[in-house]
Every structure is written in C-alpha cells, then in structure tokens.
C-alpha cells in the first residue's frame, strides 16, 4: 500500500460525513444546514484538500489543523472556495484525469459555505475524524532522512546563483524509492530545490567538498550528466512525490550520493539554510522503474520584447514504447499556459494536457491511468508567454528573453514521469530532442509553424 493510499484510508470516515452534509444542503432544506459543523463536515474536507499546505511549517500562511486555527478564517474559506482560488489547481478539465486532482465538488463547496454562513459551529468532538499525522512536518514517515551537513550562508539581498551541494550518502545497497519529500530548512529562502542521484563512477562534482555550496558552471549541465537521475523536487504547492502508484519506484544504485540543487531567494536579512530529503523505500523490487525526464525542452527559445502572447514550441520523440504517468510544466515569470500534444507515427495529433501557468504554484499532475506512448510518437510542448508591460510579474518588458536559469530569463519544458523496464540501464536513451527543439535560436519561437508534418 502506498503512503498516499494510507493517508486516504484515514479520510474514509470524512467522506461519509461529507455525504451526510450533501443531503443537508439540497435546495429546500436550508434549515438543516445549521447542523453543519466543523468536526462532522468541515474537518474531513480540510484534511483531504487543504492541510497539505495549511499546516505549520508549510507554504500557506495559516494552519487549518484545528477548529481554533480555522474558525477565524471561516468567511475567507467560503470566499476562497466559491471563487475556486483555493485549492490551487490549473489543469483544464477537458484534457486528462488526474489522481491528485484537487478540484472541490459542488457539494463540498456547499458544505463549507453552509458552515461559514451558519455561525461556523464546532460541533461534537466525537464526530471528528482522527487527526492526520504529519511526522515532523513530513508528508509521510521517511525511512531515511538525508540532511545537508552544513548551514548554507545566504546574503540579505541581491541575486543568489543556483547552488549545488554534494552529500556523501554512499547508499549501502541498491534501493527502490517509492516516495520522496524535500523539506526546506528555511522556507522563506528556498525558492525551489531538487535532489539528484549521483551514481557511483559519475565524475560530476568529483572534487567537491561535501556540504559546500558550489556555483561554478551551469547547474543544468550537471543534471544532464551520464546516469544522474532526478529523485525529488520541492516547489510551492508540489508536496511529497509518490512513485508507487503503478507497482513502480525510482532506482538508486548502491554507492550513489545525493546532490541538492538549490535555488534560493534573498529574504532581506542574512540567513542560512539546511534542507533535507526524506525517502521511503519499497519492501520489494517493483515491476516498473519510474523515470523523470525533462520532457520536451525549448532551450533555443526567444521571446520578443513586449509580446503579450509569444508562442514557444518544443518536441521530443520516443525511441521505444513507454508509458506516461506524470506532467509538470516549467516556465518562469512570463509563462501563461502549457499544452502537451502527442503526434503518433502516422501523424494523428491529440492534446492530452492543458493548464494555466502560475509561477507561484508549480504544480505536478499525476495521471489517473498510465498513457501508452508508442515508439516514434512525438511529444510536443506548446507554451505561451506574456512579455508585455501588462504582466505584473514581468521583470522587463523591453527585453528579448532567452533560455536561462534565473527568473528574469525563461525556460520552457515539462517534466514528465514515465514507467520503464527496470532493466533499462540509461532511460535517457528513451527520448531524443527533435523538430523545433533542434532549430538554431531565432528572434522568436520556435512556433507551431516549425513542426514537421508527417
Ligand atoms: C497547494 C497548497 C495549498 C492548498 C492545497 C490549499 N491552500 Fe489555501 N493557501 C495556500 C497559500 C500559499 C496561501 C497564501 C497565498 C495566496 O493567498 O495565494 C493560501 C491562502 C488561502 C486563503 C486566504 C485567501 C485570501 O484571499 O487571503 C484561504 C481562505 C485558503 N487558502 C483556504 C484554503 C482551503 C479552504 C483549502 C482547501 C479546500 C486550501 N486553501 C488549500 C496554499 C494552499
């Protein structure tokens, strides 16, 4: 059983309570809605949909763990769910079904509204579901915690370049990881971070002193190194990552080390960070290896100054049959939306995913069912960027923007999780950049017009 299904089992009682409240709010029975209480109706909803972020030490500014915490926010909760500002979820429901879909049902929204409108009652303590336990802030109980060995000093102001920090883990045996969770040591300073597996024999950072932050070179180069693999990520709203959904897991070879790739932002005062990675191991070898690819990538992108809807297209082609299970678009401050299309070897084109982009929320989308990708299928990423002055996040509308790691530069890729044969030595060979992704940089695009037709 995965940690996700364990957590869900805890919500079963809550689901029953929600069904009861649905009945209480059918039209014509408004009087019954006074019976809606925190313990019986609201807490189960908060546990299932909100506490992943609304708890101490997480990214939301207030906790919704208890009645005392949530009561002052009753009206704000009503407003946030009615406007669908909360919980954050950006996938267009026309394309794909997602296991981690946070969209609230209309009946759940009515329950929260009825609660807020009728005195936000606490109700009977015996109606409350057991609290969800977050072990020391982790999304699940880790079997192993890998912490940076030293505090990383951070300046009060200015740009902080990406930092790579080696931790000599020297994993004692081959291991299968079913879940990974990265926890910032200093939540205000960590913008995002990644944990990368450095397999034995890799020359990446071979002379690095463990625990020391290195800025030399492009961090992206390291990540592309032979055999290295992305194990876990931290972004606002992403949460712990589950790799076990399809009898699958990530592989960490014996003797591997971990490199933390950190993107910090200055907080206004000199501070430090010491972040950590929690891992849950599979009890037995899984059927399939879960591999995360950078996906279609437009490192040749060019976004004209002032353009409010600049199109940028990227493409990669599957070199063998595989299955897609996860999508996480990636752009910076000018990103607007991201679409993924599959073009079959016979030329049929199909949109499988479309989502709004919001830099503050870099969400990941778990497909409910694996999507087969046949050898020769082209995976196309189509993004739009707003480089006009109307984009309030735009650092400089007067600038032609190209690919780069800093926020005022741009990226266009979509991290993708695939299920592959556990014996496949180097999953990177599964995909090759093709079409628009191979073009030299122009003054805009590459756009859809550069797609090769079959
Ligand atoms: C993925 C993380 C995440 C989830 C899940 C989430 N929130 Fe939030 N919430 C935030 C963050 C971060 C903020 C503060 C920033 C903002 O307002 O955008 C916030 C702000 C809020 C606010 C204040 C809004 C305002 O306009 O001031 C309310 C109310 C709220 N959330 C309610 C909820 C409820 C109710 C749920 C579940 C049904 C929920 N949130 C789920 C992260 C989350």
**144 and 279 together in one domain:** yes
Q: Is the CB of 164 under 6 A from ligand 1?
A: no
Region for residue 96 given its phi and psi (left: phi exceeds 0; alpha: psi -120 to 50; beta: otherwise): left
Strand pairing class (248-252; 288-293): parallel
Considering the entire predicted model, what is its pTM?
Answer: 0.85
**pLDDT for residue 245 is more than 70:** yes
Alpha-carbon distance of 402 to 446, in angstroms, equals: 12
**pLDDT for residue 18 is more than 50:** no
CA-nearest residue for atom 28, ligand 1, is: 77
In the reported structure, the alpha carbon of residue 85 is separated from the centroid of ligand 1 by a whole-number distance in angstroms of 8
In the reported structure, the alpha carbon of residue 87 is separated from the centroid of ligand 1 by a whole-number distance in angstroms of 6
In the reported structure, the alpha carbon of residue 54 is separated from the centroid of ligand 1 by a whole-number distance in angstroms of 7
In the reported structure, the alpha carbon of residue 80 is separated from the centroid of ligand 1 by a whole-number distance in angstroms of 7
Alpha-carbon distance of 313 to 215, in angstroms, equals: 30
Neighbours of 393 (CB within 10 A): 13
Strand pairing class (271-273; 152-154): antiparallel
- Taking residues 18-34, report their average pLDDT: 41
Query: Among 253, 286, 319, which residue terminates a domain?
Result: 286
Alpha-carbon distance of 406 to 295, in angstroms, equals: 20
Query: Among 129, 155, 185, which residue terminates a domain?
Result: 129
Query: Among 100, 129, 158, which residue terminates a domain?
Result: 129
In the reported structure, the alpha carbon of residue 83 is separated from the centroid of ligand 1 by a whole-number distance in angstroms of 12
DSSP label at residue 55: S
Pocket test of ligand 1: the residue of 53, 105, 109, 359 to mutate, having most ligand atoms within 8 Å of its CB, is 53
**271 and 380 together in one domain:** no
pLDDT at 216: 60
Could you give the percent of the chain with pLDDT greater than 90? 71
Could you give the percent of the chain with pLDDT greater than 70? 90
**pLDDT for residue 357 is more than 70:** yes
Q: Of 23-27, 224-228, 349-353, where does the model show the most confidence?
A: 349-353
Q: Which of 241, 225, 247 is nearest to 428 (CA)?
A: 225
**265 and 320 together in one domain:** no
Q: Is the peptide bond before 446 cis (omega within 30 degrees of 0)?
A: yes
**72 and 16 together in one domain:** yes
Length of the chain: 454
**252 and 306 together in one domain:** no
**pLDDT for residue 45 is more than 70:** yes
Domain count for the chain:
3
- Taking residues 30-48, report their average pLDDT: 82
- Taking residues 17-44, report their average pLDDT: 60
pLDDT tens digits, one per residue of 61-120: 899 999 999 999 999 999 999 999 999 999 999 999 999 898 999 999 999 999 999 999
Confidence category of residue 14, pLDDT binned at 50, 70, 90: very low
The H or E element that residue 450 is part of is none
**Higher-confidence position of 368 and 10:** 368
Alpha-carbon distance of 125 to 144, in angstroms, equals: 35
Q: Is the CB of 52 under 6 A from ligand 1?
A: yes
Alpha-carbon distance of 279 to 181, in angstroms, equals: 7
Q: Is the peptide bond before 347 cis (omega within 30 degrees of 0)?
A: no
Instruction: Please say whether the dihedral angle defined by the alpha carbons of residues 158, 161, 162 and 167, taken in this order, is positive or negative.
Output: negative
**191 and 298 together in one domain:** no
- Give, in degrees to the nearest 5, the angle at Cα 211 between 210 and 214: 90
Q: Is the CB of 53 under 6 A from ligand 1?
A: yes
**46 and 117 together in one domain:** yes
3-state helix, strand, coil in the chain (%, to 5): 20, 30, 50
The H or E element that residue 79 is part of is helix 74-82
- Which CATH number do you get for residue 241? 2.60.120.230
**Least confident residue range of 169-173, 357-361, 418-422:** 357-361
Which ligand 1 atom is at minimum distance from the Cα of 52?
A: 5
Contact predicate 37/124, CB 8 Å: yes
**pLDDT for residue 19 is more than 50:** no
Q: Report the Cα 434 to chain-centroid distance in Å.
A: 26
Q: Is the CB of 275 under 6 A from ligand 1?
A: no
**209 and 82 together in one domain:** no
In the reported structure, the alpha carbon of residue 396 is separated from the centroid of ligand 1 by a whole-number distance in angstroms of 29
Residue 335 sits in which domain range? 292-450
In the reported structure, the alpha carbon of residue 136 is separated from the centroid of ligand 1 by a whole-number distance in angstroms of 21
Q: Is the CB of 238 under 6 A from ligand 1?
A: no
Four-point Cα dihedral 143, 148, 150, 152, nearest 10: -140
Confidence category of residue 219, pLDDT binned at 50, 70, 90: very low
pLDDT at 225: 56
Pocket test of ligand 1: the residue of 78, 79, 80 to mutate, having most ligand atoms within 8 Å of its CB, is 80
Average pLDDT, the chain: 88
pLDDT tens digits, one per residue of 275-323: 999 999 999 999 999 998 999 999 999 999 999 999 999 999 999 999 9
Pocket test of ligand 1: the residue of 60, 100, 105, 363 to mutate, having most ligand atoms within 8 Å of its CB, is 60
**pLDDT for residue 20 is more than 70:** no
DSSP-derived 3-state class of residue 343: strand
Q: Is the CB of 43 under 6 A from ligand 1?
A: no
Half-sphere exposure of 89 (CA within 13 A, CB side): 21
Q: Is the CB of 86 under 6 A from ligand 1?
A: yes
Strand order in the sheet with 163-167: 213-214, 163-167, 257-264, 190-198, 229-234
Contacts of 140 (CB under 8 A, 6+ apart): 3, 6, 7, 179, 181, 240, 278, 280
pLDDT at 34: 53
pLDDT tens digits, one per residue of 259-268: 999 989 899 9
**342 and 229 together in one domain:** no
Q: Is the CB of 47 under 6 A from ligand 1?
A: no
pLDDT tens digits, one per residue of 125-183: 999 999 988 777 788 889 999 999 999 999 999 988 889 999 999 999 999 999 999 99
Strand partners of residue 290: 419
**247 and 327 together in one domain:** no
Contacts of 380 (CB under 8 A, 6+ apart): 296, 313, 314, 315, 340, 341, 342, 343, 435, 451
**419 and 344 together in one domain:** yes
Alpha-carbon distance of 139 to 57, in angstroms, equals: 12
**441 and 375 together in one domain:** yes
Phi and psi, residue 381, nearest 5°: -105, 130
């Amino acid at each position: 059983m995965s940690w996700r299904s364990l957590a869900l089992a805890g919500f079963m009682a809550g689901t029953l309570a929600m069904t009861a409240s649905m009945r209480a709010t059918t039209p014509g029975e408004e009087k019954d809605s006074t019976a809606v209480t925190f313990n019986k109706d609201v807490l189960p909803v908060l546990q299932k949909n909100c506490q992943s972020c609304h708890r101490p030490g997480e990214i939301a500014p207030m906790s919704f763990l208890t009645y005392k915490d949530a009561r002052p926010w009753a009206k704000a909760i009503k407003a946030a769910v009615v406007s669908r500002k909360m919980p954050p979820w950006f996938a267009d429901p026309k394309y794909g079904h997602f296991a981690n879909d946070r969209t609230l049902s209309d009946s759940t929204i009515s329950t929260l509204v009825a609660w807020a409108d009728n005195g936000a009652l606490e109700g009977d303590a015996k109606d409350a579901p057991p609290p969800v336990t977050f072990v020391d802030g982790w999304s699940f109980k880790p079997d192993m915690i890998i912490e940076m060995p030293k505090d990383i000093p951070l300046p009060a102001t200015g740009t902080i370049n990406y930092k790579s920090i080696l931790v000599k883990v020297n994993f004692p045996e081959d291991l299968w990881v079913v879940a990974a969770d990265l926890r910032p040591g200093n939540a205000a300073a960590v913008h995002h971070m990644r944990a990368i597996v450095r397999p034995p024999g890799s020359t990446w950072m071979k002379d690095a002193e463990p625990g020391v932050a290195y800025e030399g070179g492009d961090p992206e180069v390291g990540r592309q190194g032979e055999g290295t693999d992305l194990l876990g990520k931290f972004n606002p709203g992403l949460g712990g990552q589950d790799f076990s959904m399809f009898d699958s897991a990530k592989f960490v070879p014996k003797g591997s080390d971990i490199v933390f790739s950190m993107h910090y932002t200055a907080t206004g005062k000199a501070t430090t960070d010491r972040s950590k990675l929690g891992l849950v191991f599979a009890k037995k070898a899984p059927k399939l290896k879960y591999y995360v690819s950078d996906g279609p990538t437009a490192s040749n992108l060019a976004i004209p100054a002032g353009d409010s809807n600049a199109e940028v297209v990227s493409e990669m082609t599957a070199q063998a049959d595989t299955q897609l299970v996860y999508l996480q678009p990636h752009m910076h401050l000018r990103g607007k939306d991201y679409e993924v299309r599959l073009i079959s070897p016979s030329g049929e084109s199909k949109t499988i995913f479309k989502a709004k982009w919001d830099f503050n929320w870099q969400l990941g989308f778990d497909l409910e069912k694996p999507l087969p990708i046949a050898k020769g299928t082209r995976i196309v990423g189509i993004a739009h960027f707003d480089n006009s002055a109307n984009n309030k996040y735009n650092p400089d509308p007067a600038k032609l923007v190209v690919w780069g790691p800093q926020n005022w530069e741009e990226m266009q890729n979509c991290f993708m999780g695939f299920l592959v044969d556990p014996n496949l030595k180097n999953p990177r060979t599964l995909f090759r950049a093709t079409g628009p992704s191979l073009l030299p940089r122009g003054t805009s695009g590459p756009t859809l017009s550069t797609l090769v037709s079959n």
